[in-house]
Chain A
Amino acid sequence: MKVATLTTVGLGVVLIVTVVVSLAIGTVAVPVRGIFELLLGMDSPSLSSTEQVILMQLRLPRIFTACVVGGALGVAGAGYQGLFRNPLADPFVIGASSGAGLGVTIAIILGLQWTIWGVGAISLAALLGAITAVAAVFGIATAGRRVPTLSLLLAGVALSSLISAIMSLLMFINDEKLVAIFGWLMGSLSGKSWSVVWTAGGLAGSGIVVLWGLSRALDALTFGEETAASLGLSLKGLRFLVVLAASTATAAAVAAAGVIGFVGLIAPHIARSLVGARHVHVIPASALVGAILLLVADDVARTVVAPAELPVGVVTALLGGPFFLYLLKTRQEEFVAQT
């Protein structure tokens, strides 16, 4: 237990270092000493005013958005994997991301601008889309009382394709909104303002807290539903809460930065290999690993072809796709046995 806690603290330190490094690098390199002065609220004589603007208005919001989005996707992945007891479940694979994407596409086309309690129409549309998609995939993939890997993947893939087709159709019909939707769909963290950080942070944070509170219940689910129920767990309640919380986190991420794949798949795996299988450790560790992964991916996206940028979704897919295939290959026997 101590080891897992220490590892989590260690991940936190790695995240802070990654944040500082990410602040320093870019088209304009900023000295690290100045970054510390600025972050600690001191007068920073070593930074020019241009550098201060770059840090405060451009890089910090962007980096915080990356942390929030990566963390939200990591935790959502851990939540879905725990609920479906399936190591290949993640927001992207099981259709939550594309569902959220469809929600956002519709919101952009309708030009919805209103907000309730600071949560915008786009975020709510994303949430609605994500929950609907997950419920559909879960419903289709359930065979008896189990969710076999194969049906989960097939249902996820099929529904995602269907949703992509609908999105393409919507974009085709509304071609004046094409650029806005398409740019957003590719997954990008550029040009994020502080308000994005706060909205996404609030939504994702609440999802993360709820999932963390459900840790022990998710642990009990590893024995199967019959045993979990005989330990006093209300399965319906748990399913509802996990899907709601994980989809809220996914929706926050998608509304803030578009569809970014594979972070939600990889982060929980790395987290589990570092802190063990108990969700009380896996969930915070997945958040930290997800944040670090997406931050690094974004650093790559904005530096390799500088001054131009790659969409960060392309970078995570390039890194995550092979990882997904590797999982599928190395754990093939297990998956075949399950189905």
Chain B
Amino acid sequence: MSVLQAQGITCGYADRTVLDRVSLELHPGEVAILLGANGAGKTTLLRALSRRLEPRAGQVLLDRQELSGFGNQQLARQIALMPQNERRDWPLSVVDAVSLGRAPHRGWMLPMTSRDRLTVERALELTCLRELRDRPITELSGGEWRRMVLARAIAQEAKILLLDEPTAGLDVRYQVEMLALVKRMAAEQKMVIMLTLHDLNHASLYGDHLILLHDGQIVATGKPADVLHAERIEAAFGIRVMVIPHPVYETPLVVPLDPMDQEPVADRADES
């Protein structure tokens, strides 16, 4: 059972502090969703949790051991990171690109074993990429490319998956499919999954655990119903919203209001 913890981490770039004493704990089987305005520190937190960025203070613990004590490949067998943007300079085929997810297990020199190939095939299957296996990654659409990255992370067989805006640039169908797949993986394989998302309603539907970041600090954390309150969202995003129950699932549904409309909102669902 892998557990990822941050204990009072402070992170920044040059003279700018982005995260200020952030603590959190991620559990297996749960989808944790990181929310917050642009610049709130979401990406920085994911980078710190995956050791791409060294915290200035505090520590990140994986199974109660400090992250800095892990070797590169050892860590890559535990944590897979899907950055917001990735380059693709050479036209590798999809299957070759996904196969690189096996590198933490197989190393950089040894040939792939039949088990490696099986894992890659399963990852392609899960992400519906079988038909595109021979397509050069330079020719993938935005959505196909995100699925390729997810397949590579699945092939990596890490128990902890950190995804930075996995639904950005996807049409609504692939957004929902991506989130449903991620949720299923977390539940079935007891994975620790954390992702950043801009759509509060998707977060409400698919998140087991939401974390709201504002100005480098966690201002709310817990189940969607505990986090998605109108005042908090208004403070974190600087917009006026109304939160009503989802007509089908009863989960909180966040409806933005016109910023020009200054009339007070008569009855807010979460105030009653």
Fill in one digit per residue for A218-254: 1 if any B CB lies within 8 Å of its CB, else 0.
0110111011011111100000000000000000000
Q: Are B72 and A232 in contact, with the CB atoms below 8 A? A: yes
Fill in one digit per residue for B204-237: 1 if any A CB lies within 8 Å of its CB, else 0.
0000000000000000000000000000000000
Chain A residues, Cβ within 8 Å of B103: 216-217, 220, 231-233
Question: Does B50 reach chain A (CB closer than 8 Å)?
Answer: yes
Question: Does A213 reach chain B (CB closer than 8 Å)?
Answer: yes
Fill in one digit per residue for B64-98: 1 if any A CB lies within 8 Å of its CB, else 0.
00000000111111011101011111111100110
Chain A residues, Cβ within 8 Å of B77: 232
Q: A230-B50, A230-B76, A230-B81 are in contact. Are A224 and B108 (CB under 8 A)?
A: no
Question: Does B248 reach chain A (CB closer than 8 Å)?
Answer: no
Instruction: Report the contact-size class of chain A (Cβ under 8 Å from the partner).
Output: 20 to 34
Interface size on B, residues (CB 8 A): 32
Fill in one digit per residue for B111-131: 1 if any A CB lies within 8 Å of its CB, else 0.
000000000000000000000
Question: Does B61 reach chain A (CB closer than 8 Å)?
Answer: no
Chain A residues, Cβ within 8 Å of B90: 82, 85, 219, 222, 272, 277
A-B contact count (CB 8 A): 84
Question: Does A177 reach chain B (CB closer than 8 Å)?
Answer: no
Question: Does B12 reach chain A (CB closer than 8 Å)?
Answer: no
Q: A230-B80, A232-B77 are in contact. Are A224 and B50 (CB under 8 A)?
A: no
Q: Are B104 and A277 in contact, with the CB atoms below 8 A? A: no
B interface: dominant SS: mixed
Q: Are A227 and B81 in contact, with the CB atoms below 8 A? A: yes
The listed residue (B76, B83, B89, B96) touching A232 by CB distance below 8 A is B76
State in angstroms the CA–CA spacing of A223 and B81 once bound together: 12
From 81 to 105 in chain A, residues with beta carbon under 8 angstroms from any chain B beta carbon are 82, 85-87
Question: Does A120 reach chain B (CB closer than 8 Å)?
Answer: no
Question: Does B101 reach chain A (CB closer than 8 Å)?
Answer: yes
Chain B residues, Cβ within 8 Å of A82: 90
B interface residues (Cβ-Cβ under 8 A, vs A)? 50, 52, 72-77, 79-81, 83, 85-93, 96-97, 100-101, 103-104, 108-109, 136-137, 156
